[in-house]
């Protein structure tokens, strides 16, 4: 959920692996039936993925995770991938330009692609994180227009090229409190995917438009398009901030006392690629537990006494609940914040060594 529309000023926002899906290089006479994706072409376990906005805060962790799972990834962004040793190839593309998007989805993943002897076919999957990552990077009208246009262009191009798996970055901000004007309560807890989302800011509105666009194209083309309502993205070096978050929980209300480790977001994207035939879906993309020292229901009743709790919550369940993504996709977090928190007694209390 970050990256600019020219492919990506990202906060979420090479050379992808040069290995080519079992293809012999240098063949100029390869017939269409032998291209990747045909019934006769043996396929490697990994997928060919075009990832937009991969140079940003989230993408710089998600792409390496996907590569480790055997996927081949092309990054579309306005800036190079920050880790020059990661083997991530970046194609500069303006996602608000439909023609550039269509072309980018059928380009080689590295310069070595020219050795395969035929043009690159459309990818197996597209992951779209490219966007302005929040309000106040640019004026509201540009944030809204570019985010909506880029999401439309990416989804349309993918579907019209026959791509059957698209994952887009929506946002925790759709729940209406993160960028609210003033102090507002949530309607209810937990925050789940059927919540009546009603944000008041342009960034969150652009993300809701992206979800509706995804639903429309999933229905028209029979594609799987999953929208991830991504929580506050935490990089490994940012766990030092949790001492403030935990001891001053009022600072985390706008994030619903929840977060997503950037590396666990990589796992979520991989699980989305592997789980098919779900059509259009919305998933909260967050870690599992609340960022407080007090169990969830006790904390919420004390902090938000006028907000109803609609079901029994797990003892330490995050208010921005990831129950659906755990049950449907099989997500199991690897980076619980308590593993990195300086007060080990909390971890011991929760059974985390």
SS3 176: coil
Residue 264, pLDDT above cutoff 50: yes
Residue 11, pLDDT above cutoff 50: no
Secondary structure (H, E, C), 94-110: ECCCHHHHHHHCCCCCC
Contact 115, 25 (CB under 8 A): yes
Residue 253: per-residue pLDDT: 99
Contact 159, 217 (CB under 8 A): yes
pLDDT tens sequence across 43-62: 447 999 999 999 999 999 99
Contact 336, 348 (CB under 8 A): no
For the whole model, what pTM was predicted?
A: 0.87
Residue 90: per-residue pLDDT: 99
Q: Which domains does the chain have, with CATH numbers?
A: 33-349 (3.40.50.720)
Q: Which helix (H) or strand (E) holds 308?
A: strand 308-309
Residue 65, pLDDT above cutoff 80: yes
DSSP category for residue 94: B
Contact 203, 230 (CB under 8 A): no
Which residue blocks in 262-321 are alpha helix, DSSP H? Answer: 262-274, 296-303
pLDDT tens sequence across 307-325: 999 999 999 999 999 999 9
Residues 6 or more apart whose CB falls under 8 angstroms from that of 340 comprise 239, 242
SS3 285: strand
Residue 348: per-residue pLDDT: 60
Mean pLDDT for all residues in the chain: 89
Contact 4, 10 (CB under 8 A): yes
Residue 34, pLDDT above cutoff 50: no
The whole-angstrom separation of Cα 322 and Cα 12 is 19
Mean pLDDT throughout 259-272? 99
pLDDT tens sequence across 322-334: 999 999 999 999 9
Q: Read off the tokens for 345.
A: 């007694």
* DSSP-derived pairing of the beta strands 90-92 and 72-77: parallel
Residues 6 or more apart whose CB falls under 8 angstroms from that of 85 comprise none
Q: Which helix (H) or strand (E) holds 156?
A: helix 140-160
Q: Percentage of residues in the chain with pLDDT exceeding 90?
A: 84
| Of residues 25, 7, 183, 185, the one with CA closest to residue 91 | 7
SS3 283: strand
pLDDT category at 342 given cuts 50, 70, 90 is confident
190: cis peptide before it, omega within 30°? yes
What is the number of helices (H) and of strands (E) in the chain? 9, 11
Residue with tokens 């706008």: 254
Residue 91: per-residue pLDDT: 99
Residue 111, pLDDT above cutoff 50: yes
């Amino acid at each position: 959920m970050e990256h600019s529309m020219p492919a990506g000023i990202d906060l979420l926002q090479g050379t992808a692996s040069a290995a080519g899906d079992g293809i012999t290089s240098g063949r100029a006479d390869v017939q269409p039936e032998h291209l990747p994706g045909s019934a006769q072409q043996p396929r490697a376990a990994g997928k060919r993925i075009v990832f937009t906005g991969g140079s940003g805060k989230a993408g710089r962790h998600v792409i390496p995770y996907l590569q480790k799972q055997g996927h081949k990834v092309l990054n579309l962004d306005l800036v190079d991938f920050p880790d020059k040793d990661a083997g991530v190839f970046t194609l500069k593309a303006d996602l608000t330009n439909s023609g550039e998007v269509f072309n980018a989805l059928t380009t080689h993943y590295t310069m070595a692609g020219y050795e395969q002897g035929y043009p690159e076919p459309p990818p197996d999957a597209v992951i779209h994180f490219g966007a302005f990552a929040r309000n106040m990077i640019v004026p509201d009208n540009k944030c809204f227009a570019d985010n909506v246009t880029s999401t439309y262009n990416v989804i349309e191009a993918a579907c019209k090229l026959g791509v059957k798996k698209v994952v887009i970055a929506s946002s925790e901000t759709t729940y209406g409190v993160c960028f609210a004007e003033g102090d507002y309560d949530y309607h209810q807890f937990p925050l789940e995917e059927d919540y009546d989302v009603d944000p008041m800011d342009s960034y969150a509105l652009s993300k809701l438009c992206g979800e509706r666009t995804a639903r429309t194209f999933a229905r028209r083309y029979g594609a799987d398009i999953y929208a991830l309502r991504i929580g506050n993205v935490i990089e490994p070096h940012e766990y030092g901030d949790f001492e403030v978050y935990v001891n001053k929980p009022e600072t985390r209300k706008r994030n619903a006392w929840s977060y997503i480790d950037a590396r666990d977001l990589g796992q979520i994207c991989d699980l989305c690629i592997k789980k098919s035939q779900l059509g259009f879906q919305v998933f909260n993309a967050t870690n599992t537990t609340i960022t407080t020292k007090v169990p969830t229901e006790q904390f919420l009743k004390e902090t938000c006494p006028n907000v109803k709790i609609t079901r029994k919550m797990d003892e330490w369940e995050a208010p921005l609940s990831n129950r659906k993504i755990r049950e449907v996709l099989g997500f199991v977090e690897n980076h619980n914040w308590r593993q990195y928190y300086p007060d080990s007694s909390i971890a011991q209390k929760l059974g985390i060594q």
